[in-house]
Amino acid sequence: MNREPAKQHPGSSTGPKTILVVDDDDDVRELLRHYLEDLGYSVRDASGGQQALDRAFENGRAIDLLLTDVHMPRMGGGELAAVMAERIPNVRVILISADAPDSVVCGPLVRSGLRFIQKPLSLADLASQIRAELDAREVAAQRV
């Protein structure tokens, strides 16, 4: 597959973006990592919350976007998103889950303003949602 970020990331003026994919399912995590790398993103992955926190600043560079499953052992995606927002104030977050967006667990997270994609997810929709989040981050950064 072609890895030409300039063509894949219209409107991105700050170079390749770094996405941290967090899912306790190895197959899902690997699929997402490969797909996002093929789109030209720099991707880190983690199997859980603590590992994600450890990888968030790898190589001295913070992530731009957290893509995390909601349901994981020890630290769920909602808690991870909150901790990550404290450490990286302008990080963007997309939650993924097989639960409905209005479920007991996902509903409060969605109502708080976090972007949510229900599994099974369309990779094309995921790419579009990621681009929208990263574009929103760039607009917010320009206002500061």
pLDDT in tens for each of the 144 residues of the chain?
Answer: 333 333 444 334 456 899 999 999 999 999 999 999 999 999 999 999 999 999 999 888 999 999 999 888 999 888 899 899 999 988 999 999 876 567 666 666 767 777 888 888 899 999 999 999 999 877 766 665
Are 76 and 70 within 8 A, CB to CB? Answer: yes
What CATH architecture applies to the domain 16-143? 3-Layer(aba) Sandwich (3.40)
Which sequence spans correspond to the domains of the chain? 16-143
Asked if 129 and 108 count as a contact pair (C-beta separation under 8 A), the reply is no
60, two tokens: 């001295």
